[in-house]
Structure 1
C-alpha cells in the first residue's frame, strides 16, 4: 500500500470511528467476524454458542469470506464481510480473530480481539518498521498467561484494562475427541522461497525415498502422519508418490472431514513443529512434541522473537535431520516420553487457564445465556 493510499485509508477510518459513536447499538446481538476463512477461535466461539443455545437469547451474526463446510444453524444469520460492517456499527458484541474493521469501538460496545495464538515471533508494533501503526481497534484483547500479557500489550499498544486473561478458546476442542494413532507435523510459515531450497526447513528437504521409509515405519506400528502446512505454503509442497500412512491436511480437508484443526489435534499422539505457537496450546494435552529449528539463528535475525531465549519454552527433542525424525517417531510409537514432567511445568507458565476457555471468555465480557 503506497503512502497516499494509506493516508486516505486512515482518514476514512477516523471518519467511520466518529460515525460509530452516533449509531445506536443492539445489546442482544453477537457478531463473529473473519476475513480469512471462518476458522480457529471464531469458529470455536460460534460452535459453543449454538451448542449451548445462546441463539435463543441473542441474535447471532457471522460475517466471513469463506464458511468452508460449517454446519449452519438456521437461527444464525450468515453474511459477507461487506455486509458485516453494518452489523459491527449496530451491535454491542463483536469478536474477531483474523482481520478487523479498523474502526474504534464505542463505550457501548464490547469488541474482542481473540487473535490466533500467543506470539513467539514478533507481531504488530513489535515488528521492525511497524512501531507506529495503530492496531488497537478493540475493547478487550486476549492473553493466555501473565508471561504473554506484556507481550500482547506491546504488540497492540493495549492498556491493562483492555487485557483479558482467558486463553485461546480454540483449546476447548483439544479435549473433544479421544487420542488415536495420529502424529501431526506443523511447520510454521517461512515467507521466503529460499527456505524451500534449504536443508534448514526439513519438511522441504526430504525426498521420496525418505518419505517411503517413514511410511513403512508408520505402517509397521499402524500410525498415521499428517502434514499441515500454512495455507500460503500448501502450493510449494507436493508428494510425487501416494503414501498409505502419510497425508496432507489443507484447511478445506480439515473443515470437511474433521470440523476444526484443534479437534483433530486432540486425536493426535504427538506434534512436530518449530516456531508455531501451536506447541504452547498442545502442552495442555501433555503429549510429546519435537522441534525442527535448524534455522533458529537465521529466523531470529530476520523475523525476530518476542523472547530472548524462545528455546526455553521448547520442551522436547530437536529434529535436525532424517535420522532424528525416525528416532522421534519411533519413541512416540513405542510410548517413550522423557519430557512429561518438564512439559507440565512449562504448561503452567504459558497457560494460566487449563479448561473451559470459551465459558470463561463469555463470563468475562458479560454474555449470559
Structure 2
C-alpha cells in the first residue's frame, strides 16, 4: 500500500539537507533511504530519520556520501511493521521557496539540489555545476520575471514567435530552415535563440536583429511573452537543461509549441515523451504524410486538426551532393536511453560501444575500404557526444565526427549510403533515394526500452542485419552496385512522403498563420 508524507520545510546546512515532514499516525517503525533513479546504477543509502512524540519528523541527507553521477535521487520510506510505502510530497510553501530561492549543495564540479518530480514528489538532482547556477543569473531570472508580471500584457502585443533547436546550440535543423523562410517573408517578430558558442553563431549574424543570445535577459523575457514556440525539440530545450527550480521554467511549460519534429515517427515510439498525456505534450504536431498523421492521432491521441501534413522544413534544401568519384558511407547510430548519465568505464562495457568499436576496427572492412577508396564517417548522437573520445581509429579512411562539428545535413546530402540502427535521420537519406542499412544488434533491448510503430523485420525501407559480418557483406554488395537503392524500397516511398517538392516550409507557415498567429 502506498501513502504520502508532506515535506513542510526544507533547509540546507553545509553538506546536509534537512527536511521537516509530517508524521504518519500508524507508522511505528519507519525507515528511510535515498535511491538513485538511473536503471544502469544501483545506488541506495539509508538516511537519518528522527521520530519523537511530535506530529512531525526530521530527515537529514548527507550529500557527501552520495555518488557523483548525473541523475535524480528519490526518497523511499518503508514501514517495517507493514507493507506500507510512503512517498514524500513537497508542500506548496516549500515549492514556492525552491522557485524563488537557491537551495543546493556543491561538491567539486557537481551540484545537488532538491526539486519536485511527478506529482510534486521530492527528488534530489545531481548534475555538473554550470555558470547559470551563480547568484547573478538568479537575479537576472527574477528581474525578467518581475518585468513580465508588470508589463506582460503590453509585451504580448508584439505577437512573438520564438524558434530554437536542441539545447539552443545549433542552427542547422528544421528550426533554422523554417526561420530562414520566415525571414524571407519579412516577418519582424520571429526570433531565433542561439548560444554565442554555437559554430553557427557567426553565420547567423546576417539575421542579427532577429537572433537572440541564449540566456540573455532578452531571451528570458521573450520566452515569457511569446505567442508561440516553434522547434524540432520540446519546450525544455528552449532554456536551461535540467535547471534548478525557477519561475521561468514553470511559465515555459504553459506556452504553446508548434513541433517541427526531428524526423519521421516510425522507428522509435515516443508516446511517453510527446503524446497528449505525456511529460512533454505539444500544441501542434507536424506530419510528413497521412501515414504518419495516423500514428500521431491514433497512438499519441492528438486531434487531427492539430496535426498538419506539411513535410519537414529542412527537406526544402535537400539535394544529393554525393560524389561518385569520392564516395563515403555515413555511419550514424542513435542514442540509447540506458547509456545516458553513465561514466566512461561503464560505457566502454556496453554492447553499443563494443559493437561499434569492433566495426571501426574490422580488418576485412578496412581492407575493402582501402581497395575501393571509400571513406567511413562515424557520427555519434548528441546525447552520447561526451563518449566520442572513447572511439578511435588510426585508419585515414575512418573519420570520427562529434555533434555540431559538421552540419548533419551536409553529411546526409554528401554520403553515398547511410548505416544506422533506429535514427530518424535516415528519412533524409531515403528522401534523397540513397540506400540505407539498418544494423540492429540490440533490437530486443531497444524494443523493451523504446519500441517502435512498425515491425522492424518487415517494414523497413532498407536492408536489415544483426551481425557484423552480415553488415560488411551488405556494404560490399551496395558498393559493387554503385550504391543504388533497391527497387523494393523505391516503391515504398510514394506512401511515406506528402510530397517531394520545396514547399514544406510554405505549408508549415501557412498552417501557423491559419491558426491566428
Shared fold, TM over 0.5: yes
| TM-superposition CA deviations, 1:174-232 (whole Å, max 9, x none) | 3174545121011121233588646577743516751x543332232222111111123
1:201/1:294 contact within 8 Å kept: no
Alignment of structure 1 residues 1-369 onto 2, 5 Å: 4=90, 5-6=116-117, 7=119, 22=153, 25-26=156-157, 29-34=160-165, 36=167, 37-38=169-170, 39-50=172-183, 53-54=184-185, 56-65=186-195, 68-70=198-200, 71-72=203-204, 73=206, 74-81=208-215, 83-100=218-235, 101-105=252-256, 111-119=257-265, 120-125=267-272, 132-133=277-278, 135-138=280-283, 140-153=284-297, 157-175=301-319, 177-179=321-323, 181-193=327-339, 197=349, 203-204=355-356, 206=358, 209-210=361-362, 212-237=363-388, 238-254=390-406, 260-307=407-454, 309-335=455-481, 339-356=485-502, 357-366=504-513
Report how many residues are paired: 343
**Residue 326 to residue 337, structure 1, CA distance change in 2 (3 Å):** same
Paired residue secondary structure (1:265): helix
Distance in 2, Cα, partners of 1:207 & 1:222 = 17
Note the C-alpha offset of 1:263. Answer: 2.8
Note the C-alpha offset of 1:245. Answer: 1.0
Paired residue secondary structure (2:380): coil
For structure 2, the 5+ residue unaligned runs are 1-71, 75-88, 91-115, 122-144, 236-251, 340-345
Note the C-alpha offset of 1:8. Answer: 5.9
Flag the structure with larger Rg. 2
Question: Which deviates more, 270-279 or 324-333?
Answer: 324-333
Distance in 1, Cα, partners of 2:314 & 2:492 = 20
**Residue 282 to residue 220, structure 1, CA distance change in 2 (3 Å):** same
**Residue 137 to residue 223, structure 1, CA distance change in 2 (3 Å):** same
Q: Which residue pairs with 1:257 in the alignment? A: none
Distance in 2, Cα, partners of 1:137 & 1:317 = 34
1:172/1:358 contact within 8 Å kept: yes
Question: Which deviates more, 358-367 or 112-121?
Answer: 358-367
Distance in 2, Cα, partners of 1:33 & 1:155 = 26
Paired residue secondary structure (1:232): helix
Greater relative contact order (Cα 8 A, min sep 6): structure 1 or 2?
A: 1
Q: State the TM-score, normalizing by the size of structure 1.
A: 0.78
Q: State the TM-score, normalizing by the size of structure 2.
A: 0.58
Distance in 2, Cα, partners of 1:300 & 1:68 = 34
Paired residue secondary structure (2:451): coil
Question: Which deviates more, 270-279 or 199-208?
Answer: 199-208
2:289/2:309 contact within 8 Å kept: yes
For structure 1, the 5+ residue unaligned runs are 10-14, 106-110, 255-259
RMSD: 3.5
Distance in 2, Cα, partners of 1:131 & 1:364 = 20
**Residue 81 to residue 171, structure 1, CA distance change in 2 (3 Å):** farther
| TM-superposition CA deviations, 1:303-344 (whole Å, max 9, x none) | 22233x133331332333332232222223223567532222
